[in-house]
Structure 1
Amino acid sequence: MNFLLICHALFSIEAPWDVPRGCTPVELRRSTDGGIPRLRTTVTTYADREYLNVLFHAADDEVIARYRNHDDPLYEEDVVEVFLSPATPTTYFEIEVNPLGTTFDARVESPDGVRSTMRVDRGWTCKNLFAAIRRTPGFVDTIVRIPFSSLGVHIPAPGDVWRGNFFRIDRSHSHGDEFSAWRPTLKNPADFHVVAAFGRLRFE
């Protein structure tokens, strides 16, 4: 599926882990071949007047995370990732959160849509980014709130379409590393920076 509806719903600080009524979670697939991952992950997306909200619900039997500083290389360990392109797909924003609640953000210029020629601006900051974690036995939930203003765009109108993708990296000493994606990039070794794999995000 290359199309995802961003439903309109209010974020609740009292119930941040609940899927809002009318929103449908999607399952991530194995990024390298589109197969079913060993560990299940769902993503729910919804928007209010100021924020795009992304809720990850991830099964996890071995959390590996030690980075606690903003913009540390979170992708070396367990992490969930959001790639968003409000305009041209060759310019997109990368936001990551690890199971400790540490964040990473960057602006990516990818003129050819591939890793080899992309330029990553780690100095870019997603101002007022909010992320929170809930860890329960066998699961890690992550809520990410991305202000539209931080992306330099107007509040999306109903019917507006962005491009983007959603990912998860799970590191495991027992089972090996697993890379999951909403839109599998079909690259092996795993590579998330494939613009051609971005799906369409349509705002309700």
Structure 2
Amino acid sequence: MDQNSPRPVRQSRIQQKNRQAILGAALELFSARGFRGATLEQIAAAAGLSKPNLLYYFASKEEIYRQLLTGLLKNWLDPLRALRAGGEPLDEILGYMRRKLDLSRDYPRESRLFANEILQGAPHLHAAIAGELRDLVMEKAEALRAWMDQGRIARSDPVHLIFSVWTLTQHYADFDMQVRVILGPGRDPYAEAGEFLDTLFRRLLATGGIETNAKH
């Protein structure tokens, strides 16, 4: 083996480490300050790199931001994709709610990044929201509507039902400080939210048959 052969592997690992450092630093800054409030100099400093070194990996601040949003959108859509039209309605909806709550607990910075993007009019995500996200919501709304037509869950607007899951779960990430200050020390916002939202959605969705099933 040539004595220089390990060098590309080592360089690849360094590159991967530096890219992850840049993305991690950018996520922290973008989620706290928004796209406009964060600078390349700040991202480079937080990543422990010089600005020229950062630009070796990413050509612009927008490229970093877009890469973060691309990964974020996939993670954000996965919980809804997992809702199965062939499953038990109450189990599927409560499972979706719990997956979204877990996402808020485990990825609060990503949630705030997404919220900041939407508050700015979604300039980088508009096409994805109007296309992939909307198509997925409409697909799952049809499954919800079918369950309602079959009398398996109470009737409501299925799209707004999905919106309510988003609102009630992402609140705990987007307003984490407010939630924790109000609840006080020694309490777990996500455990408490899980119990509350489980009760709330069971009541919202209940028909006579579902109330009976919920006891088992």
Q: Normalising by structure 2, what TM-score?
A: 0.22
Structure number with higher relative contact order (C-alpha < 8 Å, ≥ 6 residues apart):
1
More strand by share: 1
Over alpha carbons, which structure has the higher Rg?
2
More helix by share: 2
